[in-house]
Structure 1
Amino acid sequence: MKLATIITLCVANLATTTNAYNIYNADIVNCRSSPSTSGTVVRTYKANDDVSLTCQISGENIKGNSLWDKTTHSCYVADYYVKTGSTGYIAGKCNSEDSPPSSGKVPGPIKDDYPYPGQCDGIDPWHYYKCQCTSFVAWRINSRLGIKFDNYYKGPNWGNANTWDEAARKTGVPINSTPKPGSVAQTNSGSAGHVAWVAKVSGDSVTVEEYNYQRHKYSTRTVPKSSFHYIHIKV
């Protein structure tokens, strides 16, 4: 049976945790990779743009305010430029901003280690619907590669599985036809595409681990490597 007729819908969701606030005090404001002016500029906002916050953290002091706001684009704006109505915390405190610890095992054991088996309601910490293929792969990128990946990795909305290839190209993440263990298998086939975790490569075949290829469940397959494109976020 063709891949497009089997794949269950893999849907993204954009989750926000606070109301939107206006950018002010400057015409253009940088949103950076860390809470400091030394952080890489991920994107920019204009005056009066609305931003939603996921958490806040102490960082470099900007005009007397050392608070920085992490937006739903996964980057940091000095709170001085966000009109929250307060100089203190109005969102939860961010966790440690170091990269999450990697398991040190890439690609790691072939097993269902997804943290939400059978808990498929709601949004995961990476801003995807739980038990979708996108959620499972986002989990693996974080837990196995030690990279803080989410639906706004490096700025753009990665969205449904069928736009991950576009997001990779926009952000300079390598994508090609050569699978490596620990890379992401991606296809645009089906109504919303599909992504999976590359567990093993053998000649012209690739073994992938995935969620929601079989209705919200974990499964593995060995298929021709030509079945997918491969996104190399780290490996």
Structure 2
Amino acid sequence: MKFFAIVALCIVGLVSPSSAYKIYKADEVNCRSTPSTSGKVVRVYTPKDEISLVCQISGETIFKNALWGKTTDGCYIADYYLKTGSDGYVVGKCKTANKIKSNKKAGPIKDDYPYKEKCDSVDKWNYYTCQCTSFVAWRINSRLKIKFHNMYKGPNWGNANTWDNAARKTGVTVDDKPVPGCVAQSNAGKYGHVAWVAAVSGNNVIIEEYNWVKNKYSVRTVPKSTFNYIHVKH
């Protein structure tokens, strides 16, 4: 495959709302306070409603679609249930203003990956570039100043779905308690997935990753329960 933090989302310089869209694939859909199913339900829409969007943002993946729309009611609805005529953005991206206390371990949220123009080669940590594993290996080296690689402390860390086992073999903590600057790890799918925990907000984590969207950088807000957490640096 593919920052102790307080995070607030706000809209900056938006244009007028888009055309109205309809609900489909469900009789009713929850519109939530955040772009994830862990967000508080603000209101419920039905196929009779005409829903106008002010912007769209990446959030929790719903049936392989991570896009959410922010409605004129100020809540977020999963794009999967909106009949927009597109699987991509139909209005502008939501602007986010992050009120985040600096955290040296997690660092800034930005695409600083050095191999983004050189995909499908082998990096210095023995991972394929533009893959999730290569990006996280880069972050561990650059942000945590740990000389991490594919054979870190002996075992082969391999694909993302074996990182948790390799971590346990080397005495690295794996748990369900995310902190900024740790590794989010999942065994889902053929190869699993790893990502960088940029911030923690309530029951959600903000992650940075590569190759969730093919060979590309992305930022998502997802429930904590989506991942295991590997604490390479305590």
Please, what TM-score do these two structures have when normalized by structure 1? Answer: 0.56
Shift of residue 4, structure 1, vs aligned partner: 8.7
Shift of residue 203, structure 1, vs aligned partner: 1.0
Shift of residue 121, structure 1, vs aligned partner: 2.7
Shift of residue 6, structure 1, vs aligned partner: 7.0
| 2-structure distance, mates of 1:6, 1:213 | 11
| 2-structure distance, mates of 1:166, 1:3 | 28
| 2-structure distance, mates of 1:229, 1:169 | 12
Report if the CA contact (8 A) 1:141-1:149 is conserved. yes
1:117–1:177 Cα change, 3 Å: same
Shift of residue 118, structure 1, vs aligned partner: 2.4
| 1-structure distance, mates of 2:194, 2:129 | 14
1:155–1:190 Cα change, 3 Å: same
Shift of residue 218, structure 1, vs aligned partner: 0.3
For 1:111-163, what per-residue CA distance to the aligned partner results, in whole angstroms no more than 9, with x for missing partners? 00000112103100000000000000000000000000000000000000000
Q: Which residue in 1 is equivalent to 2:229?
A: 230
Q: Which residue in 2 is equivalent to 1:204?
A: 203
Q: Which residue in 1 is equivalent to 2:185?
A: 186
Indicate yes or no: 2:116 matched with 1:117: yes
| 2-structure distance, mates of 1:199, 1:3 | 22
Q: Which residue in 2 is equivalent to 1:136?
A: 135
Alignment of 1:39-118 (within 5 A): 105-118=104-117
Aligned AA (2:142) = S
Shift of residue 105, structure 1, vs aligned partner: 2.4
Gaps of 5+ in 1: 8-103
| 2-structure distance, mates of 1:4, 1:170 | 34
1:191–1:2 Cα change, 3 Å: farther
For 1:159-184, what per-residue CA distance to the aligned partner results, in whole angstroms no more than 9, with x for missing partners? 00000000011111000000000000
Aligned AA (2:170) = T
| 2-structure distance, mates of 1:141, 1:175 | 15
| 1-structure distance, mates of 2:61, 2:165 | 23
| 2-structure distance, mates of 1:191, 1:6 | 18
1:4–1:197 Cα change, 3 Å: farther
Please, what TM-score do these two structures have when normalized by structure 2? Answer: 0.57
Q: Which residue in 2 is equivalent to 1:98?
A: none
1:118–1:4 Cα change, 3 Å: farther
1:108–1:192 Cα change, 3 Å: same
Aligned AA (2:171) = G
Q: Which residue in 1 is equivalent to 2:16?
A: none
How many residues matched? 139
Aligned AA (1:178) = K
| 2-structure distance, mates of 1:4, 1:151 | 31
Calculate the aligned-residue CA RMSD, in Å.
1.9
Residue 144 of structure 1 aligns to a residue whose secondary structure is: helix
